[in-house]
Structure 1
Amino acid sequence: MSNLESLRIDFAALRTLRMVFDHGSFSAAAEMMNVNQSTVSYTIDRLRKAFNDPLFVRQGRGITPTDRCRHIAASSARMLDEFATLSEPSAFDPQTATATISISSNYYERTIILPKLMAAMRKEAPFLRLKMIQSLSEGDQHLRRGECDILLSPVNYTASEFFKRTLIPDHYVCVMDANNPLADIKLSEQEYVAAKHMTVIYGGNWRSRYMIDLEAKGLSLNTIVSLPTPEDLSSLLRNSDLISTVPNRIAQTLSDGIVTRDCPFPAPLSVDMYWTSRTHHSMMYKWIRQLISRIVGEIIRPTNDIKKPAGNI
């Protein structure tokens, strides 16, 4: 690429490349950027000439990036993140700041963390806005594409591009109607497997750890009803002979008449907070991450006697 051609490449063009790379589609990138597909195509054509590389090639009904494109996309992502950091103000006052913070999360995080986070933000940062995104098992893609600023998730993402802090330790328990005969006994593994289950599968590719532990022993649940979230468990379990397995903190939120019992497979889980270099040095995002960490500390303090190392903020 000549010096003259390189000068014609701006951050907007690199952002377009990154959007096509992340979404794997010109039309999807155009939709996310709220522009015409022809605009995206024109920009990619400019970049093809500048880099003397096709960047994206047809494969079946879709497109796939070239090796050169993968390298350019990774490098441009770092450049865009660093530029975004430079454009951030050096000082941050939560009482006067106006911005929208996007958080990708699921039912657990919205139920356990969001109420206290909202209350704290209304008091300490009254002009900040929250945008909550359903993550399922795609939260890492939300972070990479810049669709969220923070990811709260039980999925263990190990990519080196992510910063991470463990927030909430938890484990699985059984819940059922108080009149269920199984509420009066300590469930053995055999009784647990034979029971009639209302199984929360959550969606996506993520699987609960207790299910993995079951399969490791060659066991499977007698699932009668499958649910995508624990949201309606209270009403569905009431007056039924079904049991369900959920994280302990979710069990504590269920209504009266639903009781909690030990699970023979009390697998641990943790909810972690993830972010990228795009927001790592921002004073505003440092503040919101510290606020989330403080709120979580208040949530888990009554049931945790052991304090764990804090990790990165």
Structure 2
Amino acid sequence: MTQSDLLSLDLRTFHLLAAVARAESFTRAAEVLGVSQSVVSYNVDKLRQVFDDPLFVRIAGRTRPTDRCRAIIAFADTTIAEARRLRASGRFDPLTATDRVVIACNYYERMLIVPRVAAALTRAAPGMEVEIVDASGTGHEKLLNREADLLIGPFQRDDAAFYARTLTTDSYACLMDPDHPDADAALTLARYLSLDHILVTYGGRWRSNYLSELDRLGHALRPAIRIPSPAGIEELVRGSCLVATLPAALAAKVGLGLRVIPCPVAVTLPVQLVWTAEKHDSAMLKWVRDLIVDSFQRPTTGAA
């Protein structure tokens, strides 16, 4: 490897290399990056020649990085992070900004939080683009992989790689049809446990706080139906003897014509705004974070 070969490389080439390593596939990496597979292959081949290493090997049908490839990616990540920090150190003007901010969240946040956030951003920074992506229980990984800038949800993780601020705190409520035998009574824990429940599994990637509290108390529910998301859960409740346990604000939002009763499991649901240490000093994201937090600290007419 000559000095001229090394100096011919740019940060985009290393970004492509990292994308292949994460996706374990040249094809999937090209799809994620929005480029042709030939572009990915060309840049990886250039790196192979410069570093005199195959960089990837095929193992059990997957494209796995070599040790030298991992070391190159680690070096590139550090360099890119420093470049971003330097770029972000300047001033940010929301009135002229055309940046794009990507927020990862799930159904609850899209129903109750994103409308308020989007309205605040549109008013304050009309030229900015906001993209909402599904967190799907892997929101922290999306932050680390730079697939999202911010994560909103009840995701608590003790890790020095992340920062978090609490936006709001919810409780739990039970959603029932008006003709349900218990629709007009305060539920005891014993009666609650005996009901036929709709259990939201979130695809097995997240477990509701009220279920963890029941575990702590030595109890368990008897699910009649398991569903992967709360989307449309009100239609399963309507006209049935089923009960759905949801965050109280969501139950109130979707429960038109149904009964919303306090859940006897006394536990809270903190909803957090999360970001990585890598993007902590970004002037643009700091402004966005402050705007989001402020929109929840300041009462808004009609807000959920």
TM-score (norm 2): 0.86
Equivalence for 2:297: 297
1:1-313 maps to which residues of 2 (within 5 A)? 3-88=3-88, 90-215=90-215, 219-277=219-277, 279-298=279-298
The residue matched to 2:261 in structure 1 has which SS?
Answer: strand
1:266 counterpart letter in structure 2: A
Unaligned runs of 5+ in 1: 301-313
Deviations 1:237-261 (A, max 9, x none): 2332111111122123233432332
Give % identity. 37
Shift of 1:225: 2.6
1:113–1:295 CA contact under 8 A, matched in 2: no
Deviations 1:194-215 (A, max 9, x none): 2111222222511212223434
Residues 232 and 92 of structure 1: is their aligned pair in 2 closer, same or farther, counting only changes over 3 Å?
same
In angstroms, what is the RMSD of aligned CA positions?
A: 2.8
Deviations 1:77-114 (A, max 9, x none): 23212223333482222223223221111111122211
1:167–1:293 CA contact under 8 A, matched in 2: yes
2:99–2:129 CA contact under 8 A, matched in 1: yes
2-structure distance, mates of 1:43, 1:85 = 25
1-structure distance, mates of 2:179, 2:54 = 66
2-structure distance, mates of 1:161, 1:4 = 36
2-structure distance, mates of 1:277, 1:192 = 42
Deviations 1:167-215 (A, max 9, x none): 2222322221233222334433332222111222222511212223434
1:229 counterpart letter in structure 2: S
2-structure distance, mates of 1:14, 1:35 = 15
Deviations 1:222-246 (A, max 9, x none): 2223333323233432332111111
2:174–2:261 CA contact under 8 A, matched in 1: yes
Residues 241 and 216 of structure 1: is their aligned pair in 2 closer, same or farther, counting only changes over 3 Å?
same
Residues 219 and 51 of structure 1: is their aligned pair in 2 closer, same or farther, counting only changes over 3 Å?
farther
1-structure distance, mates of 2:66, 2:136 = 29
2-structure distance, mates of 1:140, 1:147 = 10
2-structure distance, mates of 1:196, 1:2 = 70
Residues 67 and 160 of structure 1: is their aligned pair in 2 closer, same or farther, counting only changes over 3 Å?
farther
Unaligned runs of 5+ in 2: none
Shift of 1:52: 4.2
2:137–2:202 CA contact under 8 A, matched in 1: no
Deviations 1:151-177 (A, max 9, x none): 113223444333322322223222212
2:175–2:255 CA contact under 8 A, matched in 1: no
2-structure distance, mates of 1:291, 1:143 = 19
1-structure distance, mates of 2:192, 2:275 = 38
Equivalence for 1:308: none
